[in-house]
Every structure is written in structure tokens, then in C-alpha cells.
Structure 1
């Protein structure tokens, strides 16, 4: 008997469940993800309060959300590398370093957005 894949609403519900499971496993196993979520929880209300327009709020909040998003992708890359490569290999290290660089750039982007948006409102 051929397997039938879920479609429509059932597929959406299943996908949501897989997404929640991914967030939970990353939270459980990745300290960096937990730290980034803590920063996100502290700065999200601040971004809503400090942003004076919808665009500013979107920039402040969107740049913050980008950091854990990239961390999720980086953690996925690291899990795959660790799963399929038990030995130390140059390409494995390169993949992990590139993922880490992506997280660094996301943090740099968020920091820059916050600095530029807030510099418009405060004379430093």
C-alpha cells in the first residue's frame, strides 16, 4: 500500500508540530540559542517601546528575530556534520565555522540596526 502524505490543514498542523519540536530540541541542546532567546525576550518589548514608527519597530524586532533564526540553521548544520562525520575533518570544521560566521553577521546586523535607529532619537 502506498504511503499517503498529509495534505491541506493536516499537513500545516503537522508542520507546526515539527517546528515546535525543532525549537524545543534546539533550546534543550544549544546554550547559544537559549542566550539569544533571553536577549530577544528582553529587547522585544524595548524595541516596541523605542520604535516610533511601524518601520522602526519592524527593523528593531526583525533584526532581533533574525539572530535565533540563523542560530537554528547553524545548529542544524552542526548536527548534520556531527552525525555524518565522527572524525575531525577540514570540511567539517569549515562548515561549522561558516555557520558560526552567519550567526555573527546576524548579531552584527541587529546591533547596527539598533544603533542606527536609536541614534535618530537620542543625541549621543
Structure 2
């Protein structure tokens, strides 16, 4: 008797499970991802405190996703490079540096967007208490 193939729904659920497994593995192994999660928590907390508009929430959520996505891609690339090139190699180092640069660009973009969103609220708060 042939083993039964998983259903369409079971395959989709398995896909989500694999993705969550990957995110969890990256969170456990990558200190930078933990910092990004902490920063995202601070941004969300500040967003609730200041009562962001829908558009401002979209910007903040998009930036959080951008940075997390870049960090996860960077982590995946580092793992693959380490697998195929366990010894030091200039091209392996270059690939890792480029991926890290992508994370840096995403982080700077998110920080600048965060400044544009939150600075007026912080300014108003400072004016209120001065």
C-alpha cells in the first residue's frame, strides 16, 4: 500500500510550520535579530502611546517587516555560504558583507522613516512638558 500524500491544506500548514521553525532558529542564533525584535517592540509601544494614524502604522509595520526580512535573508545566506565554503574565502566574505550591507540599508531606512513618523510626536511631548 502506497503512503497517502498530504492534502493541500496540510501542505500549506506544513509550510507555515517550516517558516516559523526558520524564524525561531534565526532568533535563537542571531543577536542582531533579537535587537531588531526589541526595537520593533519599542516602536509598536511608542505607536500605541502616541496614537499613530493608519498611514503611520503602515509605515512602521512595513519598516519592521523590511528589517526582519533583510536580517532573515542575511542569516540564510550566511548559513549557505558557511555550508558551501567552510574555509575562509574572499568571495564568501564578500557575499556575507554584501548581505550585511543590505541589512544596514534596511535598518537605516527604517530609522529614518521612524524619525519622520515619531519626531513630531516627541517634539509635541517635549513642548508640553517644557
Q: For 1:93 and 1:7, locate their aligned partners in 2 and report how far apart those are by CA, in whole Å.
A: 42
Contact kept, 8 Å, 1:48 with 1:61, in 2: the verdict is: no
- Please list every run of 5 or more consecutive structure 1 residues that lacks an aligned counterpart in the other structure: none
Q: Which residue of 2 aligns with 1:111?
A: 111
Query: In structure 1, the residue corresponding to 2:86 is in which secondary structure?
Result: coil
Count of aligned residue pairs for this structure pair: 124
Q: Is 1:56 paired with 2:69?
A: no
Deviations 1:55-77 (A, max 9, x none): 11110222122212110000000
Q: For 1:31 and 1:11, locate their aligned partners in 2 and report how far apart those are by CA, in whole Å.
A: 31
Q: Which residue of 2 aligns with 1:73?
A: 73
Q: For 2:38 and 2:87, locate their aligned partners in 1 and report how far apart those are by CA, in whole Å.
A: 33
- Give the TM-score taking structure 1 as reference length: 0.86
Query: In structure 1, the residue corresponding to 2:36 is in which secondary structure?
Result: helix
TM-aligned CA distance change 1:5 to 1:39, over 3 Å: farther
TM-aligned CA distance change 1:48 to 1:5, over 3 Å: farther
Deviations 1:50-97 (A, max 9, x none): 353211111022212221211000000000000110121111011100
Q: 1:2 offset after TM fit, Å?
A: 9.0
- Give the TM-score taking structure 2 as reference length: 0.82
TM-aligned CA distance change 1:49 to 1:61, over 3 Å: farther
CA-based RMSD of the aligned residues comes to 2.3
Q: Which residue of 1 aligns with 2:36?
A: 36
Q: Which residue of 2 aligns with 1:21?
A: 21
Q: 1:12 offset after TM fit, Å?
A: 1.2
Structure showing greater Rg: 2
Q: Which residue of 2 aligns with 1:91?
A: 91
Contact kept, 8 Å, 1:51 with 1:57, in 2: the verdict is: no
